[in-house]
């Protein structure tokens, strides 16, 4: 175990330095046997208990740690991992980890939706097929997934059994356009009361909110939002120094 001392001459607050240090140790695989108590961290880093609690609070807030009754602070170990910047299937991500992915269909119906219409560049009164599912990994809830597709393209989906299949696979079977490009936005959130209940989360448990607009050869065909448990899923990305973008001050701020 390597403990890096905190820099008391740094302008960065001690709690923020401690948070960075604890993240480093977590990522290196430490704490498999259990996360240290506040007192142990106070003594190891020679800081106040307030400093420790603030660092741990931020790690709890971002889903890295969580407090459990009777166990104290424990480490969240993500079970599933997905690369950013790729068109992926949640179904395939879970199944490739050797876990059965099933769904409980909450809604499968024709609706109008102004947000979906705006995202898919259609009139506000356009009809969409809404597929709302509680996605399960094994026997435990993983995500609440909502997808809107133009009814003119996807109305036949209303007869599909989505208990154990992927949306894109079903679109392909119907000869409907399957997204091959688009964009996604990932935001950490505290879910709504309804989604918390569906996912088995507490009020303080963090989750990912994923928005996706899928296009087929430049034409928008899918608007999707997904609330994913932050303690069971994580997103990763690869990068290289050659692909970075340098931020330079403008002339007015030089």
Cα separation of 78 and 17, whole Å? 24
Cα separation of 42 and 38, whole Å? 6
pLDDT digits (tens, 9 = 90+) for 123-164: 999 999 999 999 988 778 889 999 999 999 999 999 999 998
The pLDDT mean for the chain works out to 84
Closest by CA to 182, choosing from 144, 223, 147, 148, is 223
Percent of the chain with pLDDT over 70: 78
CA distances from 183 to 87, 211, 222, 242 (A): 9, 8, 11, 23
Cα separation of 214 and 120, whole Å? 9
pLDDT digits (tens, 9 = 90+) for 61-108: 766 677 766 677 777 655 555 666 555 566 666 666 667 778 999 999
β-strand pairing of 181-189 with 207-216: antiparallel
Q: Residues 166, 131: contact at Cβ < 8 Å? A: no
- Most confident range (mean pLDDT) of 28-37, 66-75, 188-197 is 188-197
Q: What structural domains and CATH numbers belong to the chain?
A: 14-75 (1.10.10.10), 80-236 (3.40.1410.10)
β-strand pairing of 65-68 with 101-112: unpaired
pLDDT at residue 9 in the model: 93
């Amino acid at each position: 175990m390597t403990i890096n001392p905190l820099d008391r001459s740094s302008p960065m607050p001690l709690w923020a330095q401690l948070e960075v240090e604890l993240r480093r140790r977590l990522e290196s695989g430490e704490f498999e046997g259990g996360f240290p108590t506040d007192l142990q961290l106070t003594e190891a880093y020679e800081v106040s208990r307030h400093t420790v609690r603030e660092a741990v609070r931020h790690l709890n807030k971002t889903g890295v740690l969580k407090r459990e009754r009777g166990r104290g602070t424990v480490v969240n170990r993500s079970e599933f991992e997905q690369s950013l910047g790729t068109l992926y299937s949640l179904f395939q991500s879970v199944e490739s980890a050797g876990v059965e992915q099933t769904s409980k269909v909450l809604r499968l119906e024709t609706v109008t939706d102004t947000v979906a219409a705006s995202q898919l560049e259609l009139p506000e009164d356009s009809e969409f097929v809404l597929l709302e599912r509680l996605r399960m990994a094994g026997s435990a809830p993983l995500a609440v997934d909502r997808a809107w597709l133009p009814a003119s393209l996807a109305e036949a989906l209303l007869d599909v059994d989505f208990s154990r299949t992927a949306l894109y696979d079903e679109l392909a079977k119907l000869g409907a356009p399957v997204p091959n490009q688009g964009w996604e936005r990932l935001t950490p959130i505290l879910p709504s009361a309804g989604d918390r209940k569906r996912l088995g989360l507490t009020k303080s448990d963090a989750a990912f909110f994923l928005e996706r607009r899928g296009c087929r050869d430049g034409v928008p065909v899918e608007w999707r939002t997904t609330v994913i448990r932050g303690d069971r899923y994580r997103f990763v990305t690869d990068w290289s120094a050659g692909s970075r973008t340098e931020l330079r001050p403008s002339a007015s701020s030089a």
